[in-house]
């Protein structure tokens, strides 16, 4: 999953100013669509007048094609309706004559869900009832989720607005990858995230099952894989089948990944004979790219993999089978004389060629067992069959180049959830943007969609939901909605609403953060707890791969994730709203005094917060750890107040004063880094300083 390369290609923005890439010039939505609280936004919406009332008489019925999966979808829908409204709505579908919502399905979908199946649906709501129509159950499930999103509390109780929706996804591959290998994710965690995927119409769960740190699936053929390679944390085959069924019920395909020939230390604990080194091997506890790699020159490796792939392709019904293929550093190959001899004997010039040889052999095994291989960019080498699918961590350029050659691809570059980017930044990335925009329509079809990726170095069962959600909903919208849907403000409003709905469906992103703060605070007074909340709502963890570099002790899989940096949201909505407020204030040429007062009140709250937090920091080591960030926030806010006051007074800052203030902001950011935290509002603070400076936008 290419951490090293990503690191090399990315400049760590220590100076925060300008590092936020909020999309400010996004194309505005048509007013009818934008007001509809649905995420992802549907392809076509017509709003009528009137509302359908949801009350204790509400019921759902199925017409046309029937199957148990639809019945279960109906029951799940009713449970979700009950959760979202608290209304006693019954638990089973009923006769159409007595139903408020009638669902009509033309025919069944494929026995094993396929890419490109028809997922379209129409939804009609009037004051007297509602209808969903779809070709097959996949569209039905999407339509039911849209209906649930439309339910709102109004002066008439819970209602759904009268509306006509025709909806169809833009891309057929809309995935979420979860790395369950670096930190294990129990079945319940996987399931609630599948619920979240269904809610936002994602349809591929990419299950990253093996890594240096763990082999997470039971093999009957080679039980030492999980017995010695997982610390007992793996999925039984029964659990795997259960999850696959759970996913199918929600219109979601499950693509397993077995990462080879690198990222595979955990395999070698039980099977050192697969490795290129001499062993013995232990489960890796550290993060990064490591030397162990499979031996591509040993026929026994392929014999083993043939058996394993035979077993796993039977277990996982999806047509696609992911073989990883990323980040081999080649060191074990370089030092293995047998491998070096083999390379010479067979004219294999370098490690890249050796990996290509391995990849080709493994792909042949996958094809032999009836599946289509998927792999990271590295598997795309000259001569590889056109049937493979490339998952691109390298970016749209790479994807476009592949598409021109006739290869199908999915984009993950720009969708790495662990990097802590804002939802807007992910949202701005289009699988058909950049180099892909100039592809022919036929070539563009080769771009199947994208996948968000949840790599799990700093993610465990407690906080994984808060690292995926709600930002993943923005990526889901990018992959489902028409290309023109780019209004960031609307996206954030709907994402906030969806974040709450997802909690009702069982996800824990909000709950988790509240509980973790309480744990950090211990026996805090209400005032101290408020101060801690004020602080943490203003912070974000440092971005990209900065955290590992800042840690005093190298983090491992045994590192506790119980600190402030683990508790704060990856995107601070408070800071985002403050920044929006600054932009709006500046856009009025600093004339909106009510707005200025609001901004000043927020800044004053921040400026005075550190003093309020201090008593608690003296009592809790976990609060104390964030004390530098707390001081930094208060100091930076004081600087911003001074700048704002200058703007309001019309007394420009001198160049020296400006420089001092910007230096102070940079110092504050550096200080926050001591807590592995960043202050996302600093860019807005700098705007205030710029505005206040001699010749600044609002200086008089």
Element (H, E) at 173: strand 173-179
Host H or E run for residue 580: helix 573-587
Residue of 23, 43, 96, 152 interacting with its own copies (CB under 8 A): 152
User: Which residue lies nearer to its own copies by CB, 4 or 561?
Assistant: 561
Q: Which stretch binds its own copies (CB under 8 A): 322-330, 560-568, 639-647, 667-675?
A: 560-568
Cis peptide before 40 (omega within 30 of 0): yes
Nearest to 393 by CA among 179, 172, 171: 179
From residue 443 to residue 462, the character string flagging contacts with its own copies as x (rule: CB under 8 A) and all else as - is -------------------x
Question: Which of the residues 481 through 500 are near its own copies (CB under 8 A)?
Answer: 497, 500
Closest CA to 417 of 193, 239, 265, 626: 193
Least separation in angstroms between residue 377's CB and its own copies is 34
Rounded Cα distance, 671 and 665, in Å: 10
**Rounded alpha-carbon distances, angstroms, from residue 555 to 19, 138, 457, 563, 604:** 26, 42, 9, 13, 36
- CA distance to 172, 209, 402, per residue, from 445 (Å): 10, 29, 12
Judged by CB under 8 A, the chain residues 81 through 120 that form the site for its own copies are 83-88, 91
The yes or no reply on residue 622 touching its own copies (CB under 8 A) is yes
> Among 154, 438, 587, 588, which residue sits at the site for its own copies (rule: CB under 8 A)?
154
Six-digit token string for 152: 């709102």
Contact predicate 140/72, CB 8 Å: no
Of 619, 654, 655, 663, the one binding its own copies (CB under 8 A) is 619
| Distance in Å, CB of 522 to its own copies, minimum | 4
Binding status of residue 581 toward its own copies by CB under 8 A: no
**Piece of 172-180, 339-347, 543-551, 614-622 that binds its own copies (CB under 8 A):** 614-622
| Residue among 257, 327, 378, 548 flagged as catalytic | 327
Compute the least distance from the CB of residue 550 to its own copies, in Å: 19
Q: How far apart are CA 141 and CA 149, in angstroms?
A: 13
Residue 32 as a binder of its own copies (CB under 8 A): the answer is no
Compute the Cα dihedral for 97, 99, 101, 102 and give only its sign.
negative
- Which residue stretch of 28-36, 78-86, 128-136, 358-366 sits at the interface with its own copies (rule: CB under 8 A)? 78-86
CB of 503 to its own copies, least distance (A): 6
| Choices 17-25, 96-104, 613-621, 681-689 (CB under 8 A): range interacting with its own copies | 613-621
Q: Which is nearer to its own copies, 157 or 245 (CB)?
A: 157
Please, are residues 416 and 453 in contact by the beta-carbon 8 Å criterion?
yes
The yes or no reply on residue 515 touching its own copies (CB under 8 A) is yes
* Stretch of 139-147, 383-391, 520-528, 630-638 contacting its own copies, by CB under 8 A: 520-528
Contact characters 38-67, its own copies, x per CB under 8 A = ------------------x-----------
Site for its own copies contains 554 (CB under 8 A): no
Question: Mask: binding to its own copies, 225-264, rule CB under 8 A, as x and -?
Answer: -------x--------------------------------
Instruction: Determine contact, residues 159/129, Cβ cutoff 8 Å.
Output: no
Tell me whether residue 500 or residue 694 sits nearer to its own copies (CB atom): 500
Q: Of the candidates 110, 314, 338, 519, which one interacts with its own copies according to CB under 8 A?
A: 519
Regarding 675 and contact with its own copies (CB under 8 A), the answer is no
- Contact call for residues 497 and 600 (beta carbons, < 8 A): no
Query: Has 484 been annotated as catalytic?
Result: no
Q: 103 with 62: CB under 8 angstroms? A: yes
User: Judging by beta carbons within 10 Å of its beta carbon (0-12, 13-18, 19+), is residue 27 exposed, middle or buried?
Assistant: exposed
Residue 566 binds to its own copies (criterion: CB under 8 A): yes
- Residue selected from 624, 657, 660, 666 as contacting its own copies according to rule CB under 8 A: 624
Encoded one letter per residue, x for contact with its own copies by CB under 8 A and - for no contact, window 358-397 reads ----------------------------------------
Burial class (CB in 10 A: 0-12, 13-18, 19+), 621: exposed
Indicate the residue among 97 and 523 with the shorter CB distance to its own copies: 523
For residue 322, list its beta bridge partners.
Answer: 257, 374
CB neighbour list of residue 22: distance below 8 Å, 6 or more residues apart: 422, 424, 425, 488, 576, 579
Cis upstream peptide for 261 (omega within 30°): yes
CA 310-314-316 angle, to 5 degrees, is 120
Residues touching its own copies, count (CB under 8 A) = 43
In this chain, which stretch among 199-207, 303-311, 470-478, 516-524 interacts with its own copies, using CB under 8 A?
A: 516-524
- The label of the residue with tokens 């007297």 reads 128
Per-state percent for the chain, helix, strand, coil, to nearest 5: 45, 15, 35
What minimum distance in Å lies between the beta carbon of 363 and its own copies? 38
Q: What count of Cα atoms within 13 Å lies in the side-chain half-sphere of residue 137? A: 24
Smallest gap, in angstroms, from Cβ of residue 692 to its own copies? Answer: 28
What is the rounded radius of gyration, in angstroms, for the C-alpha atoms of the chain? Answer: 27
Catalytic residues: 327
Tell me which residues touch its own copies (CB under 8 A). 37, 56, 83-88, 91, 152-157, 232, 462, 497, 500, 503-504, 511, 514-516, 518-523, 558-562, 566, 618-622, 624
């Amino acid at each position: 999953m290419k951490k090293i390369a990503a690191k090399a290609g990315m400049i760590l923005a220590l100076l925060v100013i300008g590092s936020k890439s909020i999309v400010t010039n996004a194309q505005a939505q048509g007013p009818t669509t934008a007001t509809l609280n649905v995420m992802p936004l549907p392809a076509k919406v017509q709003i009528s007048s009137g509302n359908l009332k949801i009350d204790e008489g509400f019921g759902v019925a199925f017409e046309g094609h029937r199957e148990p999966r639809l019945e279960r979808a109906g029951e799940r829908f009713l449970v979700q309706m009950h959760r979202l409204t608290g209304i006693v709505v019954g638990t089973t579908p009923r006769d159409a004559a007595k139903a408020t919502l009638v669902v009509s399905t033309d025919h069944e979908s494929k026995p094993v869900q396929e890419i490109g199946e028809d997922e379209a649906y129409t939804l009609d709501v009037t004051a007297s009832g509602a209808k969903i129509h779809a070709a097959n159950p996949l569209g039905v499930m999407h339509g039911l989720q849209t209906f649930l999103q439309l339910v709102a509390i109004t002066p008439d109780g819970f209602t759904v607005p009268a509306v006509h929706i025709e909806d169809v996804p833009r891309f057929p591959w809309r995935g979420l990858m979860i790395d369950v290998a670096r930190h294990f994710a129990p079945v319940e965690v996987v399931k609630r995230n599948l619920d979240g995927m269904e809610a936002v119409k994602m349809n591929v769960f990419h299950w990253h099952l093996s890594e240096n740190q763990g082999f997470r699936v039971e093999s009957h053929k080679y039980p030492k894989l999980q017995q010695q390679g997982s610390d007992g944390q793996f999925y039984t085959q029964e659990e795997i089948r259960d999850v696959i069924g759970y996913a199918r019920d929600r219109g979601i395909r499950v693509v397993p990944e077995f990462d080879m020939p690198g990222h595979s230390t955990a395999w070698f604990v039980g099977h050192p004979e697969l490795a290129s080194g001499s062993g013995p091997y232990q489960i890796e506890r550290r993060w990064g790219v490591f030397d162990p790699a499979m031996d591509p020159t040993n026929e026994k490796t392929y014999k083993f993999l043939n058996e394993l792939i035979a077993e796993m392709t039977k277990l996982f019904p999806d047509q696609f089978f992911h073989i990883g293929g990323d980040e081999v550093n080649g060191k074990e190959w370089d030092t293995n004389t047998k491998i070096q001899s083999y390379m010479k004997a067979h004219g294999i010039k370098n490690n890249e060629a050796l990996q290509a040889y391995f990849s080709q052999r493994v792909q042949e095994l996958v094809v032999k067992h009836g599946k289509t291989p998927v792999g990271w960019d590295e598997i795309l080498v000259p001569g590889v069959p056109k049937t493979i699918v490339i998952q691109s961590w390298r970016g749209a350029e790479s994807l476009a180049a592949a598409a021109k050659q006739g290869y199908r691809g999915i984009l993950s570059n720009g969708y790495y959830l662990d990097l802590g980017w804002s939802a807007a930044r992910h949202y701005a990335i289009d699988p058909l943007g950049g180099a892909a925009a100039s592809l022919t329509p036929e070539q563009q079809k080769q771009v199947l969609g994208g996948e968000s990726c949840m790599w799990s170095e700093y993610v465990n069962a407690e906080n994984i939901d808060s690292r995926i959600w709600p930002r993943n909903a923005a990526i889901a919208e990018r992959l489902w909605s028409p290309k023109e849907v780019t209004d960031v403000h609307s996206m954030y409003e709907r994402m906030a609403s969806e974040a709450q709905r997802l909690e009702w469906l069982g996800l824990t992103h909000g709950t988790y953060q509240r509980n973790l703060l309480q744990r950090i605070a211990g026996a805090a007074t209400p005032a101290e707890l408020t101060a801690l909340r004020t602080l943490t709502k203003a912070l974000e963890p440092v971005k990209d791969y900065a955290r590992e570099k800042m840690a005093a002790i190298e983090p491992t899989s045994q590192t506790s994730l119980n600190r402030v940096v683990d508790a704060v949201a990856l995107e601070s909505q408070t800071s985002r709203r403050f920044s929006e407020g600054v932009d709006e204030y500046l856009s009025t040429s600093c004339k909106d005094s009510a707005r200025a007062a609001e901004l000043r009140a927020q800044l004053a709250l921040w400026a005075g917060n550190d003093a309020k937090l201090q008593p608690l920091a003296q009592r809790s080591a976990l609060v104390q750890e964030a004390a530098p960030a707390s001081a930094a926030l208060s100091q930076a806010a004081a600087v911003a107040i001074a700048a704002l006051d200058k703007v309001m007074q019309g007394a420009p800052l001198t160049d020296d004063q400006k420089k001092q203030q910007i230096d102070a902001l940079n110092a504050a950011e550096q200080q926050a880094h001591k807590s592995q935290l960043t202050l996302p509002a600093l860019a807005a603070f700098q705007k205030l300083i710029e505005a206040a400076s001699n010749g600044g936008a609002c200086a008089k």
